Amino acid sequence: MDHATLDKRIVFVGAGSMAEAILRGLIERRIADPDRIVAVNRQDEARLADLRDKYGIRTARMPEQRDRYIREADVVVLSMKPKDAPSGIADIRRLLRPDQLIVSVIAGLSIATIERLLGGPYPVVRTMPNTSSTIGLGATGISFSAAVSAGQRETGLALFRAIGEVCAVDEERLDIVTGVSGSGPAYIYYVMEAMIAAGVEGGLSEEEARQLTVQTVLGAAQMVKTTNESPKELRRKVTSPNGTTQAAIELMEANRVGEAVSRAVLRAAERAREMGAAMAEQSLSHGKQV
Ligand SMILES: NC(=O)C1=CN([C@@H]2O[C@H](COP(=O)(O)OP(=O)(O)OC[C@H]3O[C@@H](n4cnc5c(N)ncnc54)[C@H](OP(=O)(O)O)[C@@H]3O)[C@@H](O)[C@H]2O)C=CC1
Ligand SMILES: O=C(O)[C@@H]1CCC=N1
């Protein structure tokens, strides 16, 4: 894939799984120079050492070195857990300038809450990526605050297009994006766990069950993507009348598996809204403290 290198200093505030997925995707696809990427956290030095060793990025813990990196950054990615976000954002407010681009990957956290915590309008790119960004196969929903310039919009889009597909949506639809693709990889892994376990129960080795399951999921996703046929139509082609697939799907229908998956997606979106409301509430007190 041919992407121009992003010549930006990027700081990840929160050095966890999602930060790693994005920075690894950017580095391995040669979109960003590791020397211009920084990951910071509050405590976990072993985690930072691991990221330094694996990717050659810079790291810092609170506060002096971290402050300097944040001040010098072009792009500041908010990538801490929701429970840490209101205090964490209020804590870095004094370091930020309105010409820096703020990117959030935090589930449920609204642009309005971020701006309240920062004390005014900022260029904010709110996103919902997923961990498949690690291998350039991410699926990211993205929306922009009113203060985002055309150039900053392009930077935000370029960052996430470099590590997968991007869907620009109105901000209110990012919660359902969270339900579909943010949490989505976990649903597929859950099904894969069950398929592998059943394969082993039926007599395959763990390795055989894993190999066959992985290739089946990969092939099925690729079929939907490349043939442009609907999942329903593709399923019909697998299902011989009165055959094995029909027997399996009948059992799934009897157990309302499809309905459960739909409800799970909607529940995840609802949970994102709940978390957003909790962070908005917390921001009222943190907003006053800064
Ligand atoms: N995991 C996923 O699949 C996805 C996650 N997200 C979002 O990404 C965010 C991070 O999730 P994830 O990576 O899984 O979380 P992790 O728990 O793996 O990582 C969070 C990191 O943030 C650090 N941290 C916490 N508070 C601060 C602070 N104030 N300043 C700097 N660093 C801080 C923690 O380290 P320490 O305690 O040492 O400070 C830790 O390294 C969440 O908001 C989540 O909603 C979005 C899409 C998908
Ligand atoms: O589980 C979570 O809350 C995060 C957001 C989307 C995926 N993981």
Q: Which atom of ligand 1 is nearest to the CA of 178?
A: 47
Q: Whose CA is nearest to atom 15 of ligand 1?
A: 16
Q: Whose CA is nearest to atom 1 of ligand 2?
A: 183
Q: Give residue 289's pLDDT.
A: 53
Residues of the chain with CATH 3.40.50.720: 10-174
Degrees, nearest 5: CA angle 103-105-107:
135
Q: What is the pTM of this model?
A: 0.95
User: Separation of 9 CA from ligand 2 center, angstroms?
Assistant: 26
Q: Which of 184, 120, 166 is nearest to 146 (CA)?
A: 120
Give dist(CA 39, CA 49) in Å, integer: 10
Ligand nearest to the CA of 131: 1
Q: Give residue 2's pLDDT.
A: 45
Q: Which atom of ligand 2 is nearest to the CA of 107?
A: 5
Burial of 261 from C-beta contacts in 10 A (0-12 / 13-18 / 19+) = middle
Q: Whose CA is nearest to atom 8 of ligand 2?
A: 183
Q: Give residue 63's pLDDT.
A: 86
Ligand nearest to the CA of 130: 1
Residues of the chain with CATH 1.10.3730.10: 184-255
Cis peptide before 123 (omega within 30 of 0): no
The CATH code that applies to domain 184-255 is 1.10.3730.10
Contact 47, 20 (CB under 8 A): no
Tokens 């009897």 appear where?
254
Q: Whose CA is nearest to atom 42 of ligand 1?
A: 81
Residues in contact with ligand 2 (CB, 6 Å cut-off): 107, 178, 182-183
User: Separation of 52 CA from ligand 2 center, angstroms?
Assistant: 25
Q: Which of 285, 267, 286 is nearest to 275 (CA)?
A: 267
Q: Which of 107, 111, 110, 62 is nearest to 88 (CA)?
A: 62
Residues 6+ apart with CB under 8 A from 73: 9, 10, 11, 38, 100
* CATH class of the region 10-174: alpha beta
Ligand nearest to the CA of 18: 1
Q: Whose CA is nearest to atom 7 of ligand 2?
A: 183
Ligand nearest to the CA of 19: 1
Write out the chain's pLDDT in tens, 290 residues.
445 578 899 999 999 999 999 999 999 989 999 999 999 999 999 999 999 999 999 999 978 899 999 999 999 999 999 999 999 999 999 999 999 999 999 999 999 999 999 999 999 999 999 999 999 999 999 999 999 999 999 999 999 999 999 999 999 999 999 999 999 999 999 999 999 999 999 999 999 999 999 999 999 999 999 999 999 999 999 999 999 999 999 999 999 999 999 999 999 999 999 999 999 999 998 865 54
Give dist(CA 84, CA 90) in Å, integer: 10
Write out the DSSP string of 160-176.
Answer: HHTTEEEEE--GGGHHH
